[in-house]
Amino acid sequence: MNRIQQKLQENKKLLSIYFTAGYPSLHDTVTIIENLEKAGVDMIEIGLPFSDPLADGPTIQASSTQALKNGMTTSLLFEQLKDIRKTVTIPLIAMGYFNPMLQYGVEAFCAKCQEIGIDGLIIPDLPVAIYQEQYQTIFEKYGLINVFLITPQTSNERIRFIDSVSKGFIYMVSSASTTGAKSGFGNEQSSYFERIAAMNLKNPQIVGFGISNKETFEQATQQATGAIIGSAFIRHVTEKGIANLDEFVNPILS
């Protein structure tokens, strides 16, 4: 069984953290992953920086721009991660835009992920239908779970379709927004969370966007299995560095 699927069976609310590889410094990748695991994080999304991150707000954009300036590339990231499974056991997901993967070669990219021990992928600009038609066989050949997004605007019919194609969890975007755009949840989110919970989907859901602290983590995971923090974590490493990540994680999990 894939590490993601195993993790999802644990009877707890999962905390997943997104960070941009190559930020704040080029060679922080492995340290960040190890420190996050030590701090008790359940899952990590390793962001591949992209020049034109359409779905991201200013915080992740800025970290991507800086990571690219620092010299991050797909090959370098794979090089940095080559021994990661000697020290890290939690699920690792690569998150990035499709064009860099396309240039690397989709099959070569997937093969490399498997070799390293990456468990899944999140590719916001690879729609479900194109994935199914052209890439599902390749991803599955290399044991990778592809994670799809839903939003408050996604119709129930489409959510069912996405649920049928998904094999790990569904990434539930909390509001119609880019990353880091909004913080905190209102009535709209509550009714969305309830609507999705009532659908009894086959895949568990992990909520992302708008989660920054204990309060929002708990709101998000009332019904859902877990939550993902991105922009707030990037802000933390920007201000405080990458050494004491438990300072960020502890208050959320306490």
Name the strand (E) or helix (H) holding 111: helix 106-116
Q: What is the DSSP letter of 143?
A: T
Helices (H) and strands (E) in the chain, counts: 13, 8
SS3 244: coil
Q: Which is nearer to another protein, 88 or 118 (CB)?
A: 118
Q: Which of 76, 91, 95, 82 is nearest to 25 (CA)?
A: 76
Of positions 15, 43, 94, 150, contacts another protein by CB under 8 A: 150
Question: What is the smallest separation between the CB atom of 67 and another protein, expressed in angstroms?
Answer: 11
The footprint of another protein on residues 111-130 (CB under 8 A) is 124-127, 130
Tokens read off for 109: 């990219």
How many amino acids of this chain bind another protein (CB under 8 A)?
A: 40
The footprint of another protein on residues 155-214 (CB under 8 A) is 155, 158, 173, 176-178, 181
Biggest alpha carbon–alpha carbon distance for the chain: 46
The active-site residue out of 45, 79, 157, 188 is 45
Q: How far apart are the first and last CA of the chain?
A: 29
Question: What is the smallest separation between the CB atom of 125 and another protein, expressed in angstroms?
Answer: 5
SS in 3 state form for 169-211? Answer: CEEEECCCCCECCCCCCCHHHHHHHHHHHHCCCCCCEEEECCC
Of positions 44, 149, 196, 228, contacts another protein by CB under 8 A: 149
Q: Does residue 246 have an active-site annotation? A: no
Of positions 2, 5, 65, 238, contacts another protein by CB under 8 A: 65
Q: Which is nearer to another protein, 52 or 215 (CB)?
A: 52
Residues forming contacts to another protein in the complex (CB under 8 A) are 50-55, 57-58, 61, 65, 68, 73-75, 97-104, 124-127, 130, 148-151, 153-155, 158, 173, 176-178, 181
User: Among all residues, which ones are annotated catalytic?
Assistant: 45, 56
